[in-house]
Structure 1
C-alpha cells in the first residue's frame, strides 16, 4: 500500500510537530510556508524527508490534490488566519480526504472550516471530512497545562516583580500587550477589528 500523503500549511511549531508525527507513521509530507528561511531550516532538520514548498496559490492547489490529510497550521499572532484553501479549491481534494484546521480558533485557514466539538467533531463538505475542534489542547488539559506553565512562568514572575516596567525591559513581553488604557496596542488585533493601532511604547 502506498504511504499516505500529508500536506501541512504552515511550518511553525504546530506544523513542525505534525510533520514529525506524520513522518513517524511513514507518510509522505509536504510543508508549505511563506518564509523561505524556515523552509530551508525544515528541509535541513528533517534531512530531506519532507517536501518544502513556498505557500503560493498555485503550490497550494497542486498539493491539496494528492493530500489524504491536510493540516492547517497557520497562525498570525493576534489576528485572523488567512484563508489559504478557498471554497472553490475544495473540489480539487480527493473524496474521503481529511482536513484538520488547527487554526480554527483564529477563524481557520480553510474557508469551509467551522468550529466543532468533541461530541460532534467532524462534518462533510464535497466529500471531504472537516475536523474543526476548537481549543485542541483542551483535550489533554493536564499535559497542556504543564507545557503552557513551563513556558509562561518566567514571564509571569517578571510581571509580578516589576509590573508594567517589565514590558519595557523585555521585548517578548511587550509584543504580548494587546490593550492598555483603552488603546489597541497589537497591530494584528487592531487590523482584525478595523480599529486604530497605537505603538505599545506610546501607550505605556
Structure 2
C-alpha cells in the first residue's frame, strides 16, 4: 500500500502522524511511504531519519494526497486538506466529528473512508488510540492551569502547592477517566488540594483504592459540582462520551460564582468542551476571560510536548496502521471489530451513531458499510 504522511498545518501543531520507527515497520512489511519535507521537525525527527527508514521525502502535501492510498495524520484534516481527499482513499487520524459539522460534510462529500483514532476500541472497553493523548493532556492540564493562575496571565495569583503557612490551591477535576486520573495525580503531586468528580461509583472506588487518599473523590451530582466549582481556584474539565459531543456540565451562571481570576482548563474542547463558555483556542493565544474567570481551551494540548506525544501516539497507532496497510481497510475491520468501531465515514455515508445524533445526519451501521 502507498502510505502518505503530510505535515500538520493546524495552528501550533508540532506532532506528526508517523515516526521513523513506524516508517521502518511499514517498509519492512512491503509498503511504500511518502512524507512531506519537514513533517517531523517539530517532534525532533529530521527528514534524514525518515529517509534512512525508507520514506520518500517530497515538498508539499498535494503530491502526497494525490499519490497515497492511505493518509496518516494526527489532527483532523483542515479545509484545504479535505479538498484533496478522494473517493476510496483511507484517512486514519483523529477526527472529533460531533462538534464539527463542516468537516463531517466535507468528508462525506469526498467519498473517502475515514477511521478515527478516538473511536477505535479494545477488548477492555477502552480507547487505545485516544488513551496516550489523554494521558499527555491530563498531565499537562495542572501545568497549564498553574500558569493560567499566575497574575501576569490574568489569574488569581495563587500557587498550586502553596507554601508553609499558606494553603494550597483548590483544584476540581470533573471526570475520573484517563484524563482526569492523570490530571489529579499531577495536581496532587504539585501539592494542590484536589477533588475528582465522577458518576461511576466503581471508578470512584478504584481511585480511592489505588491512590489511597492522594486526592479526594466525590460523586458528580449537580449540587456537588456547583458547590465545588464555586470554591475552586482551578477546574479541569476531563469528561468524555466516546464519539459524542461533550456534555455541558458547568453553566455560565455557575461560572459567575467562582472567584475573580480563577481558572478553567477544558481538556474536552476537542469534543466541544464541557463548560458552557468554552471555545477552542491555540497555543499561540491560549487564554481568554469570561466573567472574570480565565479559560484555557487549547484544542491540541499534546502538541505542546510534540516529541513525547508523537512517540506515545505512534506506539499505539502502529499496529492498526500496519493492519490497514497489510489487509486493506475492509478485511482489517472484518478481522478486528475494535478497529471497525473506528470507522466514521465510508463512501459518502456516516457510520458513527453518536456523530449522527449530534449533527442530525442519517447513519448506517459499520457492518453494512463493510458490505457496500
TM-score interval w.r.t. the shorter chain? over 0.9
Give 2:230's match in structure 1, choosing from 35, 49, 65: 65
Q: Distance in 2 between matches of 1:147 and 1:56?
A: 34
Q: Does 1:172 align with 2:335?
A: no
Question: CA shift at 1:105, angstroms?
Answer: 1.6
Match of 1:147 in 2: 312
Match of 2:177 in 1: 12
Match of 1:81 in 2: 246
CA RMSD for the aligned pairs? 1.4
Q: How do 1:101-116 residues align onto structure 2 when only pairs under 5 Å count?
A: 101-116=266-281
Match of 2:359 in 1: 193
Q: Does 1:47 align with 2:222?
A: no
Q: Distance in 2 between matches of 1:53 and 1:188?
A: 28
Residues 50-74 of structure 1: per-residue CA shift (max 9 Å, x gap): 2222222112101102211100111
If asked which structure has higher relative contact order (CA below 8 Å, sep 6+), I would say 2
Shifted more, 41-50 versus 67-76: the winner is 41-50
Residues 133-155 of structure 1: per-residue CA shift (max 9 Å, x gap): 12111112222111100111111
Give 1:23's match in structure 2, choosing from 176, 188, 191: 188
Match of 1:38 in 2: 203
Question: CA shift at 1:117, angstroms?
Answer: 2.2
> TM-score of the superposition, structure 1-length normalised?
0.94
Question: CA shift at 1:109, angstroms?
Answer: 0.2
SS in 1 for 2:285: coil
Question: CA shift at 1:84, angstroms?
Answer: 0.4
Residues 112-151 of structure 1: per-residue CA shift (max 9 Å, x gap): 1111222322122121111111211111222211110011
Residues 28-85 of structure 1: per-residue CA shift (max 9 Å, x gap): 1111122222222112111132222222211210110221110011122222111000
Match of 2:258 in 1: 93
Q: Distance in 1 between matches of 2:316 and 2:279?
A: 29
Cα pair 2:230 2:254 within 8 Å, conserved = no
**CA separation of 1:34/1:169 partners in 2, compared to 1, >3 Å: closer, same or farther?**
farther
Question: CA shift at 1:199, angstroms?
Answer: 1.6
Match of 1:135 in 2: 300
Q: Distance in 2 between matches of 1:103 and 1:182?
A: 28
Q: Specify the structure having the higher radius of gyration (Cα).
A: 2
Question: CA shift at 1:86, angstroms?
Answer: 0.8
Q: Distance in 1 between matches of 2:204 and 2:354?
A: 24
The count of aligned residue pairs is 204
Q: 4+ residue stretches of structure 1 with deviation over 3 A?
A: none
Q: Distance in 2 between matches of 1:123 and 1:156?
A: 38
Query: Which 5+ residue runs of structure 1 have no aligned equivalent?
Result: none
Q: Distance in 1 between matches of 2:281 and 2:306?
A: 18
> TM-score of the superposition, structure 2-length normalised?
0.53
